Structure 1
């Protein structure tokens, strides 16, 4: 299969960077901006959850299609436009090799193709995209379908790192891939640690923790030993925030000044939150954010709220 053309909206992450933002033009701070974060459209989960069989790949995803269409519609109405729209993993529900995976992928790409051309898409890999225990083959499939599984890019003097959190969760079937990401991450954190950027921000699917860095290990966080090591690395490098999904609820906390932001789903909700998106404003001094329901964004817009967010301490 031939490599996708550069600039294809689903393959903008290539060579460990994002072609939408040329580094030579984006290394300098240019003033406040905002972006949109979403997570877990996960086409197929709502049907699987309703039947009590979440291990199935979900044979119907009409609700997720409609919700993701609403998300795209809401983003397209925003003025001014966000710098980008990042989806923090679990793009679809069917695991690698499972039934309906191709169809779910095609439908999601069809919906996302309607995003405004001025809003680049940024894709983060999740456990359903790669498998709970990823393999070289499943990672290669993701790269062919969505672009690199980890990469960095600059926007207006801010360094963004996109990580493959499955390699922190269970890399037993692809240890060489984990070692490669670890080396690359240390290099990127060195850049951040030398404070050559206005801020540094991380996107990954699985959060370090959902409430507290000392919480017990479970399905929705990284193992305590791993999260502590990463949290130490991130805080030492001056990382401002980590944005994630996976939990299907809004959550998070702080550790040594690092903001761990867990964003609920566009698709299936496992708590009391509404289907929604997070608006993240980056100013010279801070990174502030607020979660909105899809209806709020479509009906209200953001012009007044953006001004308020830029004033928040």
Structure 2
């Protein structure tokens, strides 16, 4: 079940290349076992995951996808978090897999990596750790005539320690976008952890995007500039240009722990889904 993303495709989701009408899929994000109680325990997130599983089994979507931060504990060999507890990481991954086993076998579960899964500044070792746990960090599949591209946006967030992996994925993404258009995909959809932007494709480090705040169960308050949640503009621009060139219909993300939607005049939509686990407040109107 956990190694279906392999050789840059997803086993069982390869054949539906033709449109047969509207269909339902489910996008989730940030199950992030451990965030609420700073990795002391994760019973709150497990309970939320169980509710999500129950909802999915009732909805019966064509597929379900979890857009990253499957667990909270950072990976081994993450230079920013040398004190990461490998034992807790292993247990969180095991518990995530155990609760998600409750999803009906006829609903394919697609998982992708977030920054807590491979690091804010990923490297070859952290990516390989994730691949051993869940399969490829980026890949493509077909569903109902739509070409779905799954991207490791942590490489776009900060490729300093993974320049080769970043370049390879970017080349792959450009090729996949062109191929989807050439193959006549009814819609091309992109799934990632990080939103490419929050409000405007041209926002940057100096834009007034406000602050993000979250209080843990122990009362510790986390405050971050919202720029933490988007892809830096210098690496975002070529991706957005490629999306426009190849008529990407929508991009789906998580990471922000709140909901947000942006529709651009050319018809492109970006949908940011709130967290299954630790949810922050959603801005009014989002």
Assess same fold via TM > 0.5: yes
SS at 1:75 equivalent: helix
Does residue 257 of structure 1 match 2:283? no
Give the aligned partner of residue 124 of structure 2: 136
Give the aligned partner of residue 148 of structure 2: 160
Long gaps (5+) in structure 1: 1-8, 49-57, 274-290, 292-313
Give the aligned partner of residue 267 of structure 1: 277
Deviates more, 1:175-184 or 1:59-68: 175-184
Give the aligned partner of residue 14 of structure 1: 6
1:292-311 aligned within 5 A = none
SS at 2:147 equivalent: strand
TM-superposed CA distance for 1:194, in Å, is: 3.0
Long gaps (5+) in structure 2: 77-83, 206-226
Aligned residue-pair number: 253
| Cα distance in 2 between the residues matched to 1:269 and 1:121 | 22
TM-score by length of 2: 0.85
Q: Does the CA contact (< 8 Å) of 2:259 and 2:282 recur in 1?
A: no
Deviation string 1:74-96 (CA, Å, 9 cap, x unpaired) is 11122xx2111100000000001
Of 27, 37, 49, 1:68 maps to 49
Deviation string 1:251-309 (CA, Å, 9 cap, x unpaired) is 13133321011110001012148xxxxxxxxxxxxxxxxx9xxxxxxxxxxxxxxxxxx
SS at 2:25 equivalent: strand
Give the aligned partner of residue 200 of structure 2: 212
Does residue 149 of structure 1 match 2:137? yes
| Cα distance in 1 between the residues matched to 2:234 and 2:11 | 35
Give the aligned partner of residue 185 of structure 1: 173
| Cα distance in 2 between the residues matched to 1:126 and 1:183 | 20
| Cα distance in 1 between the residues matched to 2:282 and 2:167 | 38
| Cα distance in 2 between the residues matched to 1:22 and 1:127 | 27
SS at 1:40 equivalent: coil
Give the aligned partner of residue 106 of structure 1: 94
TM-superposed CA distance for 1:22, in Å, is: 2.9
Give the aligned partner of residue 302 of structure 1: none
Deviation string 1:1-27 (CA, Å, 9 cap, x unpaired) is xxxxxxxx211111110111233xx11
SS at 1:82 equivalent: coil
Does residue 95 of structure 1 match 2:74? yes
Q: Does the CA contact (< 8 Å) of 1:192 and 1:238 recur in 2?
A: no
Does residue 244 of structure 1 match 2:253? yes
SS at 1:133 equivalent: coil
SS at 2:37 equivalent: helix
Deviation string 1:132-157 (CA, Å, 9 cap, x unpaired) is 11010111111111111000011121
